[in-house]
Structure 1
Amino acid sequence: MLFSQIPGLTEVKKVLLQAVQNNHVAHAQLFLGAEGALNLPLALAYTTYLHCQNPGEDDACGVCAACSKNLKFIHPDTHFVFPIGNIKGSKDEETFKIEKLKTWRSFLLQQPFGNVEDWANFYGGEDKQANISKEESREIVKALSLKPFESKNKVMIIWQPEYMHPSAANGILKILEEPTPNTYFILITNAGDRLLPTILSRTQLITVPLLSDTELEQYLMEHMEVDEKRAGKAAQLADGNLNLSFKILSKEEDNNTQRFIEWMRTCFKKDYIALVGMADEYHNLDKLSQRSMLSYSMNMLRETLLHISGANAINRTRGEELQFVQNFGKVLNWQKIETSVKLMSEATYHLERNGSAKMIFLDLSVNLSKTLTNN
């Protein structure tokens, strides 16, 4: 991957490029970002630049032998470690390792912005507990004990190290602290709080922010060939998460605006019979649509808070949405909005853990009704 293929993140790219150009690359770096941050693509582009035979000021050349191999993820001096479920079956160890790496490379080529869930769906491990086994630490030490094959640098990319078995994590501490010359570790995580303190203390932190709405909207219009209205709506719902925006656009357009307006009005009326019917409708949506509606609802409450606070300059709503926000703001205050967002956030948490969508939505609706009508 090349830096030019990644939207935004100008400052982070600049820091990484200057580190290589000034020969100040830390031997172990932790790319940390929230769910949806582009830390994996950024690490892949950084690796391409480290191996490039003719690097430019802003990017790898993209055409040399090293770049050609990196763009296919087959460079012999780039090593990957990643979580995977127990799908070995009756395959012998060597065959399984080869197939696993081949599948991983295919995933990177097809879904470079994917997450752990996408990866599990890709290799067929949706119902398997993914982890990085303790045997992987021995494989890491073994791979890095060899001299580079083609490049002057060796790169070990560990994706989602929070999935490492404790023995595996402890097994790499020594080589992580004292690697062989020209060996670089790049750890990529969305959950830094789940990593061992001993790993955190041995790595240089690179914080990768989410994309802005403008960056995301521009990328979608240029690369997904969608109009400004659809791109803007997807960017608003995705909240900086490029991977999520793809999924939103790949579905038929959800009528979240009308659904949200009707839901809020029904909560205000305390029409519990109607809310039960809405809970049935919500239950019949697929999981992405369920999450999308709650995300949209929290965004609309945020916009309402901005409106009643007088911060209209940064309000993102337009047309019908803006009109509703202006009317909604007349009957809300910041305490009601804070409580409502907290309730929706808790509902999202339970939804992601496979709770009953109908019961979660109905419980949320009843509590919202009490919150919104409470004087």
Structure 2
Amino acid sequence: MLFSDIIGQQEIKRRLLEWVRNDRIPHAMLFFGPPGTGKLAIAVALAQYASCRERKERDSCGVCPSCVKFGKLVHPDLHFVLPVMNTQRVTGKPVTDDFIQQWREAFLSNPYLSEYQWYEAIGAENKQGFISKNESQQIIRKLGYKPYESAFRMVIIWLPEKLHPAAANSLLKLVEEPPEGTIIFMVSENTDQILPTILSRTQLLFVPPLSEEKIREGLSKRSDADPALVEDAIRKANGNFNTALQTLEQDEQEQVYFDYFKGLMRLCYKREIIAISDWVDRVAVLGRERQKQLLDYSIRLLRENFILRMKQDRLNYMSAKEAEFSEKFNLFIHEGNIRELVESFTLAANHIEANGNARIVLMDLSISAVRLLMQKSPVTG
């Protein structure tokens, strides 16, 4: 991880670089602040810079053997401590090493990842992670060895607020008097939950929310998305780059689902069965999770069109493209077919979740939609 890969935070980078150049790196640092600001990435970049054999004035070289290993998170002198828990694959007394491969993949794909995204990556999104006493004792042992390649042994403790009280107490002495050549980085999003005795032994570094300008700059390097979607993601980010990424990804995916939905509705209205069959073939290869998301999206848009048809515009929540399409489409959604349309899409989603044959399920749904879209609105008094 290079400092140049990290969005914004120039003042913190400048300060850290100066510490390394002047050989004044604190033995224990705690990066804290709101989520999605780059705290974890900064800690990794600092560890890499401190170990780089050909470091430049403002960054690691990125190509020496040490940097190459840091780039893959496989440097033997870099250790991680993460909140973990029992999963289907790992039971008993789980520690970070049990999940290190998933961690490398998760961090390298998104250095701004959230705690929840980490739990998703290890298949435990419905559980709460923690850092056990067993984990802290293991780290104490690891840091007792001499460095293999670097001048330092380094440990990054992500979310120290997840330390079990027994684990926190066992780390106190290590934080206060680490072995020579040891650097401890902590990365926190809630310092109120960290033992005051640990906080008092660390150099505190606040990492502030990112400006809209910096988030825009970061998104431009990672995506060529529609500018309107980018601006929407920036507005919703509130200084959190990970939120911006997630929003943009969701908006882009919804655009794909919108195109599928719009295409199907037009084909159903025209009763073009061969073209509908082609549509089914395309959607059938998306995978079960994407198919479910498409059906859920379709249900939402059907309901939005019914609300629009009932002249309740103030209750509508649609994008500009959805609203433009719905100006005409809402005329085909009414009290005579909305309930059955929603039920048909919901039933299809349930069948997909139960591993039903996607082509059969989607074709049956499409035929139902053909029939329902042909229904006229019932005459009302």
What's the TM-score once normalised by structure 2's chain length? Answer: 0.64
Counterparts in 2 of 1:160-171, with a 5 A limit?
160-171=159-170
2:175 — aligned with what?
Answer: 176
Q: Distance in 1 between matches of 2:185 and 2:79?
A: 10
Give the secondary structure class of the aligned counterpart of 2:251.
coil
Q: Is 2:111 the counterpart of 1:112?
A: yes
Matches within 5 A, 1:173-252: 173-252=172-251
Structure 1 residue 98 displacement after superposition:
4.7
Decide whether aligned partners of structure 1 residues 153 and 243 sit closer, same or farther in structure 2, where only a CA change above 3 A counts: same
Deviating more after overlay: 211-220 vs 101-110:
101-110
Secondary structure of residue in 2 paired with 1:125: coil
Indicate the SS of the match to 2:34: coil
What displacement does 1:101 show?
1.3
Q: Which residue of 1 aligns with 2:135?
A: 136
Deviation at 1:166, TM superposition (A): 0.3
Tell me the TM-score normalized by structure 1: 0.65
Q: Secondary structure at the match of 1:193?
A: helix
**Partner deviation per Cα, 1:205-257 (whole Å, 9 max, x = no partner):** 011111100110122123212344332221111111111111111123689xx
Q: Cα offset for 1:131?
A: 0.4
| Aligned partners of 1:8 and 1:215 also within 8 Å | yes
- Structure 2: gaps spanning 5 or more residues: 256-295, 301-381
Q: Contact (CA 8 Å) 2:51, 2:151: kept in 1 or not?
A: yes
Correspondence for 1:14: 14
Instruction: State the shift of 1:89 in Å.
Output: 5.5
CA pair 23-249 structure 1, distance change in 2 beyond 3 A = same
Classify the secondary structure of the residue corresponding to 1:146.
Answer: coil
State the shift of 1:180 in Å.
1.1
Distance 2:121 2:190 in 1: 22
Give the partner amino acid of 1:192: T
DSSP 3-state at the match of 1:233:
helix
What is the CA distance between 1:88 and its match in structure 2?
A: 6.5
How far the C-alpha of 1:83 sits from its partner, in A, is 0.1
Deviates more, 1:229-238 or 1:164-173: 229-238
| Alpha-carbon separation, structure 1, partners of 2:89 and 2:244 | 35
Q: Which consecutive residues of structure 1, in runs of 5 or more, have no partner in the other structure? A: 256-280, 286-375
1:1-375 aligned within 5 A: 1-87=1-87, 98-252=97-251
**RMSD between superposed Cα atoms in Å:** 2.4
Give the superposition deviation at 1:90: 6.8
| Letter of the structure 2 residue corresponding to residue 71 of structure 1 | G
Distance in 2 between the 1:4 and 1:98 partners? 29
Identity %: 39
Q: Distance in 1 between matches of 2:36 and 2:231?
A: 17
Shift in Å at residue 129 of structure 1? 2.3
The 1-side partners of 2:75 and 2:186 are apart by 18
| Aligned 8 A contact 1:221 1:227 in 2 | no
Structure 2 SS opposite 1:220: helix
Which residue matches 2:353? none
